[in-house]
Amino acid sequence: KIWTTKGDEQKSATEEFIGYLKTLEAELGDKPYFGGEKLGYVDVTMIPFYSWFHAYEVSGNFSIESNCPKLMAWAKRCMQHESVSKTLPDPKKVYEFILQLKKEGAPQQRASMAEEVILLDSWVSPFGMRARIALAEKGIKHEHREEDLGNKSDLLLKMNSIHKTIPVLIHNGKPVCESNNIVQYLDEVWHDKSPLLPSDPYLKGQARFWADFVDRKVFDAGRKVWVTKGEEQKSLMEEFIGHLKTLEAELGDEPYFGGEKMGYVDVTMVPIYSWFHAYEVSGNFSFESHCPKLVAWAKRCMQHDSVSKALPDPEKVYEYVLQLRKRLGIE
């Protein structure tokens, strides 16, 4: 029921399932196995479901480990037996199988999708916006899940255990992390729809170089502005504007960094435009007067649905920044 239903029905199936796992945990008690000191009939009967746990967890957006740690410990103990480890399949393959089954399954199961794409995101994140734009440009159907970064979901912590940050793209159960990595991945898998990176290796290298510049210089300076004040902040703003001017020079007379059409660098850079209003109000200046070409470029990108729908209302971003600075105790 967890992987064949949605909404309240799925939630209730998930709770029921966890309830049953807890009942089993209680029965296991302190024994290493249900069979006592050795694997027994009940262990053999239950352990195969361990290979399906990942599929249940992704479908139902919950974590079995955090609910039933003892049962997970028991499962790992069983997996040390060759009879078990040689038998159980790769949990990721089980999840892909379920997706296929849903597609071919009975009409009451949900609408078939050849690919299942989930994006873990946060509305205000410029990094998340990159992924949103790329998905929209390529017309990829996906489920968008808003994360509360003050209370990260089990799924996020599991899918990006190294950095625990959004965005995370989950494609058929497999995570791809880091925004530029996600955009490149989408471009490679859905390469025939609105290609973002050039096919020529040299031009690709150039695009990657400028996307890296946007990350390490523009976004970095831009981020630091919000956690400083006074002279330090003023100097960071000047650095930030300096980087924007470098980008203007790189853009030259082309409509987009990608040339005639939006490309990888455009997608990497345009999200910061939703933060321009916040910078302007806080710093009491206008980007238009410093980098008119770049502002014109941003407005050109905003004419694309994929961009205008991905970027949040600049007023809301400004409110968010005010709250952030209050929370950090700056002014």
| 134 in Cβ contact with 196 (< 8 Å) | yes
Q: Which helix (H) or strand (E) holds 300?
A: helix 292-302
Cis (ω within 30 of 0) for the bond into 48? Answer: no
For residue 298, state whether it binds another protein (rule: CB under 8 A).
Answer: no
Closest to 249 (Cα-Cα) out of 198, 216, 189, 291: 291
* Of 136-144, 204-212, 272-280, 303-311: span binding another protein (CB under 8 A): 204-212
Candidate residues 185, 228, 283, 314; the one interacting with another protein per rule CB under 8 A? 185
- Dihedral angle sign, alpha carbons of residues 266, 269, 274, 280: negative
Please state the closest distance from residue 246 (CB atom) to another protein, in A.
Answer: 7
For residue 241, state whether it binds another protein (rule: CB under 8 A).
Answer: no
DSSP 36: B
For residue 223, state whether it binds another protein (rule: CB under 8 A).
Answer: no
Residue length, the chain? 331
For residue 130, state whether it binds another protein (rule: CB under 8 A).
Answer: no
Please state the closest distance from residue 82 (CB atom) to another protein, in A.
Answer: 15
Candidate residues 162, 230, 252, 253; the one interacting with another protein per rule CB under 8 A? 162
Please state the closest distance from residue 150 (CB atom) to another protein, in A.
Answer: 23
**Strand pairing of 168-171 and 174-177?**
antiparallel
Contacts of 136 (CB under 8 A, 6+ apart): 305, 306, 309, 310
For residue 209, state whether it binds another protein (rule: CB under 8 A).
Answer: yes
Tokens of 123: 């509305």
- Dihedral angle sign, alpha carbons of residues 98, 99, 100, 105: positive
Candidate residues 117, 176, 244, 272; the one interacting with another protein per rule CB under 8 A? 176
Phi (first) and psi of residue 36, to 5 degrees: 100, -120
For residue 208, state whether it binds another protein (rule: CB under 8 A).
Answer: yes
DSSP 176: E
Identify how many contiguous H helices and E strands the chain contains and give both numbers: 19, 4
- Report the distance separating Cα 12 and Cα 6, nearest Å: 10
Candidate residues 24, 189, 281, 302; the one interacting with another protein per rule CB under 8 A? 189
Please state the closest distance from residue 237 (CB atom) to another protein, in A.
Answer: 20
Question: Closest CB to another protein among 124 and 168?
Answer: 168
Candidate residues 171, 214, 218, 318; the one interacting with another protein per rule CB under 8 A? 171
* Of 25-33, 75-83, 105-113, 200-208: span binding another protein (CB under 8 A): 200-208
Please state the closest distance from residue 249 (CB atom) to another protein, in A.
Answer: 10
For residue 229, state whether it binds another protein (rule: CB under 8 A).
Answer: no
Give the interface with another protein as residue ranges (CB under 8 A): 162, 171, 174, 176-178, 181-182, 184-185, 188-189, 201-202, 204-205, 208-209, 212-213, 246
